[in-house]
Structure 1
């Protein structure tokens, strides 16, 4: 049935013969092979989850790149798949995570049911979605179908509809829910703030549901100052795991909304979460001793019970968080039969030792370093500054570059084009980007103590 999940034993059995986890496996198992594995399962796998090595992004990217480009008819990875794209930031080739088409539809149905159970969306809600569609990204159809599965009526506006039209239709069709990426939501609300008072009064948004990039405390304050008593929710997901958790002030009493963390509620029937000390994630098999103490923060490691054909087992997300019991504040909303299965994941953000996030995309420092070392660019020193606009709480990106004065290098214009392509600069976000060529080292920001050049200056999160 639509709400059915897989047993952990089934997922672990398939993982043992899948190329994500077994270097001797050439292709993922086909349907017949998976059915054979399920028939032979001893059902004693639950105790051996900690014996499964961690899966990291580099391994995943490498295996997926091979499978995507292998056109052999025996390659089941390319068969009957919903392709979920991620990456492309950091100048890399986007990763195409393949999900069985039927698993994908079931997960959308399960997530819609989860939203309804938790009181986020339900029948009677009119939702306008400004999510992205095209360029292989499918966040628009993903979110609209989830909302419909929750019982809502959805207007699929998309990211190319200008804020002027979005505001008009919010008013004309009496829409009470706006959903989109965090940056998109802020842009629309900023436009609403510029409208005449009588026009603004026609817009009666009760809920904001954002995805992809977090809303900061200043952004939340800005949204609520314009829209009044609006509730702000979020859906957490990824290409690898799909949508799997929600943030709701009704469930968690708005813990973390004024700080650097956000509470997300997830269903242990769909997702298992382990919190691991960063020093213990080395790719080897690990015992229970690597688990962080209860409620202590660490690296978030996922095992999905919604994906079998291409399983996600002990996947190191690169996020920092901690797991907590469902608070009593949720009991008035969540049905009693579901409460024991729900937990809270307190997300503290990305492990900034490896990457940072801007405009909904992660950029990895090792790939930035490689990009900046291209000989034809002649970049002697670089610096990235993450900041915010003065007029509206949106994240800005500034790239400072010092080039060597030498013949044979590409022009400044060509370097700018490369930087824009690397950081995925498009017409909708180019006003948030500044590329600066400096004349000497004094053009960079330095550390207070050793006067070292700071490669990454983060004013956005501080």
Structure 2
């Protein structure tokens, strides 16, 4: 399908859309022409805008498909003087054309294979139509093979460091594996060590040696290292489950297993870094294998049921004009120096091997010789890959440091040794090492050297000492391996196993992750699978893992607009209130934003902070992309409690009317707006207004306001909420911590660090625009709790330093502490330079609203000066050249407020 959306129509009558039904064309074409257009292949050039590869600029295909669909554009056909094409073009000119009227902002959707469309000459250069090409459906049904119910709906998130780490590991691994295969037949000590490690029988040995002679340009084709998420501290899953990856084995027999699954499921999210590579897995493998879509494809298989190979068959059937046939290995024969399927007598030019090693060895010598010597035949996997890379004895070489040293430089050796578990072939164990393994079975497992699906694996920790010794000393197990065993990192009580998808030099990184409650992780044995996530392009963090400041974040937000064309699509936009400096706009995924709020509400319900019995009066600010009002409405809806959404701009008279009518028990708003309401109620002598709880945010609620609210609202429980536009609201107080600075936060939502008393926040649930190690601008400490608790406690002290004079600094906490020494209703500090010419002299202007006290302005100001002195080593009178103090008594409505949030700006720094 395609769609045309009219942004601006041609005002002069040109650019008229014309549509022709294919059915009208077919009725007018001769039978002979229809047959030729259906069966004959034409060279069709691929328009530049639709090319996915520089290597593919055309296809050879019929014009008519299935006799009732068409693929036709006269300008991209190479053959112009063709009898059938001439008849088709003449028919197109003669049949009836439909001219739908498309006005501005209308859309038409067409089946591009059932209709031909064109337009008349454009007369108005302002005409603008948007053409939409719908994404094609996946050419195979992944859930026809893999049960949809086994797919977990969420992601496992990983860092970009982990993604890059696997890419680097693949580079080293690919080089080592290639060298091992190439060195196998060499008359060197290295070649001898490789041969002695594998000890293949004479038939396999000769196959590998002959392939190195007749096919010297070895291509590994498909190989899939399995990744075990073992216990360690190298990386994290979802920001909290620490792990170290280990490659425990390599799957190289069945070339597509896991690839189609990952290509289908990991390629659907444009914000997921895995999607970019996953979307090209299958096409890349087919192109790299040099398979010809215009020729028949064969799959040679017998006893293996298979998974993804059936998806390959679906794919080929839809992508190619030729068949994809499954044949039994016994049906292969050589005739006239050609490989033939003796059931159909079809010539086989390309095929997929889906055979076990013993099935390959049971092929006739004539067929095997043909595989080895005939370079015209095209197949995967290479037999060397199947016999060497799939053999677990390979790991005794990969974990052998002296061996690696002779293959690679020292840096690469160290790189690969980090991810490979120590492995030994049992018959090469020294007596000392064998004895150690017998007595430390908990650290080891025994595996057959070939095979797969976890068959016949013995894990030391799961068996008795007698059984372990029996397995290790069994004479039939001499060619098996003993490998280091590591405990799994679990997710939802399940063990995890990833797969590194590789093909030749291509690494598609990690595919779908398998999950199972058993130590042998296998979907065929009842396991599940889950998808990995790494943000595609943009994570708000520092590349060197240092702390992200608000200033740096602001730079990144501006850069994001130029690097990500989707930055403002499908997002929830939050605006900072402006108290931290420049106004910021932060984008989060809409669903992730709702999930964050739900997690916080779940905690509030769990801790009796809110209940479905509450009736909440919402007086928070809204408008101009400021979200406080909306946030608290959402909290109430998610908690299934009633909200009265009045907003900060509602008149006090209307608010009083709602209070008297609905009798709300929870009052919500900024301390400033609540103070306005309290002053009004006191003036109206309304002494019967009572609230059980007050929810506040945006500003702190000091002791003076708390006492005042207790008198006016008859309320003594004050629940503060904590967060920012960047992090979202992620913490709140409970009744237990009312009137303190201690907040509860869900550990599944955020990770809190304290670095030099700074509160550093990492949001754990965001996948789009992740926020990592963000400096919130406040100081605090972690309050010790039970490690197994779902919730953490953080005490918030104050914000950062405001001014620095010599060796002395003045922070927001110093100012707040100073202002508590006087009985003022509200205060505000303006920091500026004395003049634009004297930027070395700082002005501190204290503006204050006096309470009902008889204290004179002079006395009040002297108290403030005296208390400020304690924060300076030098006398304030001696700092007159650097610091000027001024005081200004004002009325409550003269306080400067942010125009967006209506938030009281306690400290206004005009120097920047």
C-alpha spacing 1:204/1:182, structure 2 compared with 1 (3 Å): same
C-alpha spacing 1:67/1:182, structure 2 compared with 1 (3 Å): same
Report SS of the residue matched to 1:75: coil
Which residue of 311, 315, 322 corresponds with 2:781?
Answer: 322
Which residue of 221, 226, 237 corresponds with 2:712?
Answer: 226
Which residue number in structure 2 is paired with residue 309 of structure 1?
A: 768
- Is 1:274 the equivalent of 2:733? no
C-alpha spacing 1:52/1:262, structure 2 compared with 1 (3 Å): same
C-alpha spacing 1:388/1:170, structure 2 compared with 1 (3 Å): farther
Which residue number in structure 2 is paired with residue 451 of structure 1?
A: 880
User: Aligned partners of 1:458 and 1:320: how far apart in 2?
Assistant: 28
User: Aligned partners of 1:15 and 1:189: how far apart in 2?
Assistant: 57
User: Aligned partners of 1:154 and 1:107: how far apart in 2?
Assistant: 20
Q: Is the 8 A contact 2:693 2:719 kept in 1?
A: yes
Which residue of 546, 558, 566 corresponds with 1:76?
Answer: 566
Which residue number in structure 1 is paired with residue 687 of structure 2?
A: 200
Which residue of 681, 693, 697 corresponds with 1:211?
Answer: 697
Report SS of the residue matched to 1:321: strand
Q: Is the 8 A contact 1:131 1:179 kept in 2?
A: yes
Which residue number in structure 2 is paired with residue 122 of structure 1?
A: 611
* Superposition deviation, residue 267 in structure 1: 1.4
Q: Is the 8 A contact 2:570 2:590 kept in 1?
A: yes
Which residue number in structure 1 is paired with residue 656 of structure 2?
A: 167
User: Aligned partners of 1:186 and 1:107: how far apart in 2?
Assistant: 30
Q: Is the 8 A contact 1:179 1:210 kept in 2?
A: yes
- Is 1:9 the equivalent of 2:158? yes
Which residue number in structure 2 is paired with residue 352 of structure 1?
A: 801
**TM score, norm. by length of structure 1:** 0.63
User: Aligned partners of 1:177 and 1:10: how far apart in 2?
Assistant: 42
Report SS of the residue matched to 1:343: strand
- Is 1:300 the equivalent of 2:300? no
Q: Is the 8 A contact 2:571 2:588 kept in 1?
A: yes
CA deviation map 1:423-445 (0-9, x unaligned): xxxxxxxxxxxxxxxxxxxxxxx
Q: Is the 8 A contact 1:55 1:313 kept in 2?
A: yes
Gaps of 5+ in 1: 17-28, 278-297, 328-337, 394-445
C-alpha spacing 1:109/1:385, structure 2 compared with 1 (3 Å): same
- Is 1:33 the equivalent of 2:256? no
CA deviation map 1:328-356 (0-9, x unaligned): xxxxxxxxxx9712121110011133785
User: Aligned partners of 1:190 and 1:156: how far apart in 2?
Assistant: 21
C-alpha spacing 1:270/1:215, structure 2 compared with 1 (3 Å): same
Which residue number in structure 2 is paired with residue 236 of structure 1?
A: 722
User: Aligned partners of 1:127 and 1:363: how far apart in 2?
Assistant: 33
Which residue number in structure 1 is paired with residue 253 of structure 2?
A: none
C-alpha spacing 1:228/1:458, structure 2 compared with 1 (3 Å): farther
* Superposition deviation, residue 306 in structure 1: 2.3
Which residue of 731, 736, 739 corresponds with 1:245?
Answer: 731
Q: Is the 8 A contact 2:618 2:646 kept in 1?
A: yes
User: Aligned partners of 1:458 and 1:266: how far apart in 2?
Assistant: 39
* Superposition deviation, residue 34 in structure 1: 5.2
Report SS of the residue matched to 1:212: coil
Q: Is the 8 A contact 2:694 2:715 kept in 1?
A: no
- Is 1:138 the equivalent of 2:609? no
User: Aligned partners of 1:268 and 1:351: how far apart in 2?
Assistant: 25
Report SS of the residue matched to 1:134: coil
C-alpha spacing 1:243/1:451, structure 2 compared with 1 (3 Å): same
Q: Is the 8 A contact 1:5 1:306 kept in 2?
A: no
* Superposition deviation, residue 140 in structure 1: 1.0
Which residue number in structure 2 is paired with residue 406 of structure 1?
A: none
Which residue number in structure 2 is paired with residue 110 of structure 1?
A: 599
User: Aligned partners of 1:211 and 1:134: how far apart in 2?
Assistant: 17
User: Aligned partners of 1:149 and 1:348: how far apart in 2?
Assistant: 30
CA deviation map 1:12-42 (0-9, x unaligned): 76999xxxxxxxxxxxx93343556874899
C-alpha spacing 1:66/1:192, structure 2 compared with 1 (3 Å): same
Q: Is the 8 A contact 1:109 1:149 kept in 2?
A: yes
CA deviation map 1:32-77 (0-9, x unaligned): 435568748999x9xxx99722111111101112324x3x7x5232
* Superposition deviation, residue 122 in structure 1: 0.9
CA deviation map 1:175-219 (0-9, x unaligned): 1111111211222122222222xx431x22111000011101111
User: Aligned partners of 2:887 and 2:753: how far apart in 1?
Assistant: 28
Q: Is the 8 A contact 2:575 2:585 kept in 1?
A: yes
Report SS of the residue matched to 1:143: helix
Q: Is the 8 A contact 1:6 1:305 kept in 2?
A: no
Which residue number in structure 2 is paired with residue 383 of structure 1?
A: 843
User: Aligned partners of 1:216 and 1:147: how far apart in 2?
Assistant: 25
* Superposition deviation, residue 388 in structure 1: 3.5
C-alpha spacing 1:90/1:116, structure 2 compared with 1 (3 Å): closer
C-alpha spacing 1:15/1:139, structure 2 compared with 1 (3 Å): farther
Which residue number in structure 1 is paired with residue 546 of structure 2?
A: 53
User: Aligned partners of 1:114 and 1:120: how far apart in 2?
Assistant: 8
Which region of structure 1 is more displaced relative to structure 2, 347-356 or 162-171?
347-356
Which residue number in structure 2 is paired with residue 397 of structure 1?
A: none
CA deviation map 1:251-305 (0-9, x unaligned): x3x4xx3xxx61111111111111001xxxxxxxxxxxxxxxxxxxx01101111
Q: Is the 8 A contact 1:5 1:270 kept in 2?
A: no
* Superposition deviation, residue 228 in structure 1: 2.2
Which residue number in structure 2 is paired with residue 264 of structure 1?
A: 743
Report SS of the residue matched to 1:353: strand
Q: Is the 8 A contact 2:619 2:645 kept in 1?
A: yes
Which residue of 118, 129, 149 corresponds with 2:638?
Answer: 149
The root-mean-square deviation of aligned C-alpha atoms, in Å, is 4.1
* Superposition deviation, residue 141 in structure 1: 1.0
**TM score, norm. by length of structure 2:** 0.33
Q: Is the 8 A contact 2:840 2:882 kept in 1?
A: no
Which residue number in structure 2 is paired with residue 405 of structure 1?
A: none
* Superposition deviation, residue 452 in structure 1: 4.5
Report which structure shows greater RCO (CA 8 Å, sep ≥6).
1
C-alpha spacing 1:229/1:158, structure 2 compared with 1 (3 Å): closer
C-alpha spacing 1:34/1:235, structure 2 compared with 1 (3 Å): farther
Q: Is the 8 A contact 1:182 1:210 kept in 2?
A: yes
User: Aligned partners of 2:887 and 2:601: how far apart in 1?
Assistant: 36
Q: Is the 8 A contact 1:15 1:311 kept in 2?
A: no
* Superposition deviation, residue 449 in structure 1: 4.3
User: Aligned partners of 1:267 and 1:5: how far apart in 2?
Assistant: 19
User: Aligned partners of 1:364 and 1:59: how far apart in 2?
Assistant: 25
Report SS of the residue matched to 1:272: strand
